[in-house]
Structure 1
Amino acid sequence: MNAPADNFARFGAVGLDEMIADAALLARVDRKYVIPQTALAHLLGGIDDGTRILEIAGARRFAYESVYFDTPDLLSFHMAAHPRRRRFKLRTRTYVDTDAAYLEIKTRGARGTTVKDRSEYDITRRAVLTRRAKEDVAAAFAAIGVDTRRVDELDATLTTRYSRATLLAPDGSSRATIDTDLRWERPDGAGFALPGLAILETKSPSSASSLDRLLWRAGHRPVSVSKYATGLAALSPDLPRNRWGRLLRGAFSEPSTTISHPEELPCAAA
């Protein structure tokens, strides 16, 4: 099930440059929600009419693909499953509609400071780490005290795909992303889709946004969800699950979940 286009039809458009400029200075608090797509129309109907939606070349929903990299013993996953001060997340992110790809390295050091480095990447090599990429990752590992030799162990572990719409509050003080058409796939072809769900993330100052309050009134509460870690745990029951246990027992195990065949979810080009 796709989010119907008319869910967004009443919102005015905002361009990418203006979206970035309005939101760039936010001291953000991020809150994530996993909600049924059937609830989207009602929720969006309650949003302020002055809300605007990101629009590029007439499109309001955009296809994303992320390829996550980890070590054979899943060091990145376990750092997230057992929250530690030192952790990292490594992926290439592809904006499918514009044929643009980026390498994103997110690290957190012993003092709890989060650093996110992002650089343009060769879209044809988005499922592998180039030599230059490994050099950048090694520098990031050194900064948080992870053995830099582990860079040579990194390989593609999971690919996620989804469609995203981005909303901007009338005063520019908060924004939200709505991800639908959610799909996950491992390199061996095992995968699943959650066509009946949406992952909604609000980004606002420390006080809750009007959309947060709307979600709360409808009975939805923020959850801990990571497309990488939660998806990998859903595919591998032997992995630690406690941090995402409620989702794995609920939304991520709904009867609408479908196991995908390799040909339905093609791997990223190497």
Structure 2
Amino acid sequence: MTADDRVRAVLCPLDGVGLDELVDAAALLTRVDRKYVLPVDDAVAVLDDLARVTAARVLEIDGARSAAYESVYFDTPDLASFHLTATRRRRRFKVRTRTYLDSGASFLEVKTRAARGTTLKQRVAHDECPTALGDGRTFVGRTLEAEGIDGGSHLALSPGLVSRYRRTTLLLPEADGAARATIDTGLAWELDQPDGDVPLTWSVPHLVVVETKGDSTPSDLDRLLWRHGHRPERISKYGTGLALLRPDLPDGPWRRVIRRHLTPSPGATAPAGTTTTPARTPGHDDRSL
């Protein structure tokens, strides 16, 4: 069974929830994110407990409880978005198209930092090719300028890193409202090379990325993960993926998670240079983009 199969199986006892209800209950475009990187067996154990002790529900669309995602990230020639994140600047941003591969729907998204370390995501439907901003450049520029990114309307953004994975989304009822969580499996990155050679790739089928999205109060799933010995870790699908495939770039914020977890699959074409250490050490809250 794939990691996605195992996740869906362990969550099978939970009721489903429609997209409209989930958005009404927990849209969370401004939120605190906590991210966890777990081996598949550990993730299944945590989710099994969740299914037994909470009234969480699983997003279900046309009978499907997981969906395939593809994100294309846009950056400047000098990788301004990457370096702002790598150096933990307060005024950082991320621009991407996100395509839901099962339906073909695509959105253009801009993520920035809001007050008190929260993440603000703004998006519009995107009818262009996912690797082109097209008319969306106006939306990106206006959004970046409004969020205090100097020169945001004049950035020379072009497509770069691509990430792909399957996602299961949970609605988590909480005492003071609702939170959302996502479970990502089959994560893989791809990056074209300047000389047109075979793209660099890196995949981690042995891992599950769990992300909780809510207010500053930890959710029941956060507390359950902590009881199982897991703590938030710094991982960014853009920053971490690019640091893996471009070892000439700084990897400071993600170095620990790279060394602990992100070994390549047997078919990876990524450059060598990372190592893995088995030790588990306490993590810390990741509220980065």
After TM superposition, the score normalised by the length of structure 1 is 0.87
Partner of 1:195 in structure 2?
Answer: 205
After TM superposition, the structure 1 stretch with the greater mean CA deviation from structure 2, 82-91 or 190-199, is 82-91
Partner of 1:268 in structure 2?
Answer: none
> For each residue in 1:83-106, what CA deviation from the matched residue of structure 2 results, as whole angstroms up to 9, or x when unmatched?
112221000001111110011112
> For each residue in 1:178-229, what CA deviation from the matched residue of structure 2 results, as whole angstroms up to 9, or x when unmatched?
0001010012311111000011011233222221111111111001111000
Equivalent runs, 1:14-25 vs 2, <5 Å: 14-24=17-27
- Tell me whether 1:94 sits opposite 2:99 in the alignment: yes
Contact preservation (8 Å) 2:31, 2:119 = no
Contact preservation (8 Å) 1:87, 1:109 = no
Contact preservation (8 Å) 1:173, 1:205 = no
Partner of 1:234 in structure 2?
Answer: 244
Q: Say which of 204, 214, 223 aligns to 2:224.
A: 214
Contact preservation (8 Å) 1:26, 1:204 = no
Partner of 2:258 in structure 1?
Answer: 248
Cα 1:145/1:210, change in 2 over 3 Å: closer
1: distance between equivalents of 2:149 and 2:215? Answer: 31
TM superposition outliers: structure 1 runs of 4+ over 6 Å: 109-113
SS in 1 for 2:249: coil
> For each residue in 1:129-153, what CA deviation from the matched residue of structure 2 results, as whole angstroms up to 9, or x when unmatched?
21x22222222343324225742x2
Amino acid in the other structure paired with 1:140 = T
Partner of 2:279 in structure 1?
Answer: none
After TM superposition, the score normalised by the length of structure 2 is 0.81
Equivalent runs, 1:49-88 vs 2, <5 Å: 49-88=54-93
> 1:63, CA displacement in angstroms?
0.5
Cα 1:50/1:243, change in 2 over 3 Å: same
Contact preservation (8 Å) 1:107, 1:140 = no
2: distance between equivalents of 1:118 and 1:180? Answer: 24
After TM superposition, the structure 1 stretch with the greater mean CA deviation from structure 2, 135-144 or 74-83, is 135-144
> For each residue in 1:224-261, what CA deviation from the matched residue of structure 2 results, as whole angstroms up to 9, or x when unmatched?
111000110011111111111101112112x6464159
Contact preservation (8 Å) 1:14, 1:55 = yes
Partner of 2:151 in structure 1?
Answer: 147
Q: Say which of 130, 133, 140 aligns to 1:126.
A: 130
Length, aligned pairs only = 257
